[in-house]
Structure 1
Amino acid sequence: MAVRIRLRRMGAKKRPFYRFVAADSRSPRDGRFLENLGWYNPILKPAEVHLKEERIYEWLKDGALPTETVASLFKQVGLWKKWELMKKGGDVSGLTITTQIKERPKKKKKGKKAPEVKAEVQEPAEAEATEEKPPEK
C-alpha cells in the first residue's frame, strides 16, 4: 500500500481548513485516512500550522511520501530540513519548527499598456538648408 501524507479539506464553503493526514494514495482526497497528523489554516494572516512531528517522522521513516503541496509547507515551517538532518544522523536539537507561514508578496498584475509612439526627431535647420529657395527680388 502506497501511503501519502496529504491535505484533507475541511471547513465551510470558501473558508478552507486543511488537515494533514496519512492516507492510501488510491483513496479520494476527503476519503478514508490512516492517521491525522496536524492541521493548516490558510485563512489566518499569517497562515497557521500545527504538526505532530513525531508521528510525521514515523510515517516518513516507514516510506510515506508527502505530496508537492505538503512538502512545500514542510519546507516553509522547517520540518523538512529537520527530517533531512535526522536521516543523515546530524544534530537536530537546535532546530525548531515554526507554527506560522510567512505571507508571500503579491504579484503585480500586468495590464495592457498603450503602445508608445516614438516621435521622429527632425532637425529643422538641416531640413531648411538642403532645400533651395529662389532668390528674392
Structure 2
Amino acid sequence: MAAKIRLKKVGRKGQPSYRIVVLDGLKPRDTKVVADLGYYDPKADPARVEIDNKAALKWLLDGAKPTKAARDLLSKAGVMAAWDAAKRERIKARAEG
C-alpha cells in the first residue's frame, strides 16, 4: 500500500475543517481511513491544529508520503524536523555498520 498523509475535508458548507489522516494513496480523498492523526480548523482564530506527533512520526518512518498541505501542518507541529533527525540517525547507523 502506498500510504499518504493528507487532509480529509469535514464540516459544513462555508465552514471547512479537516482531519489529518493516513490512507491508501491510490484511493480518493474521502475513502476509508487507515489512521486518524489529528485535525485542522482554519476558521478558528487563530487556526487550530492538533496532531498526534508519535503516530505521525511512526507513519513517516514507515514510508507514508505527506501531501504539500499535510507537510506544512506537520512542519508547524514539529513532526517533520523530528522525522528528518530520525532519518539522519538511521543513515548514520547504516554507514557505521
TM-score range, shorter chain: 0.7 to 0.9
TM-score by length of 2: 0.85
- The answer as to whether partners of 2:57 and 2:79 remain within 8 angstroms in 1 is no
Corresponding position of 1:23: 23
> TM-score, length-normalised on structure 1?
0.61
Query: By how many angstroms is 1:59 displaced?
Result: 0.7
Larger helix percent: 2
Flag as ranges the 4+ runs of structure 1 deviating above 4 A: none
Q: Compute the RMSD of aligned alpha carbons.
A: 1.1
- Matched with 1:5 is 5
After superposition, the C-alpha distances for 1:63-100 in whole angstroms (9 at most, x for unaligned) are: 000001111122223221122122223xxxxxxxxxxx
Q: Which has the larger radius of gyration?
A: 1
Identity %: 37
Q: Is residue 63 from structure 1 mapped to residue 63 from structure 2 by the alignment? A: yes
| Count, aligned residues | 89
- Return the structure number with greater strand share: 2
Amino acid at match of 1:80: M
Structure 2: which amino acid aligns with 1:74?
A: L
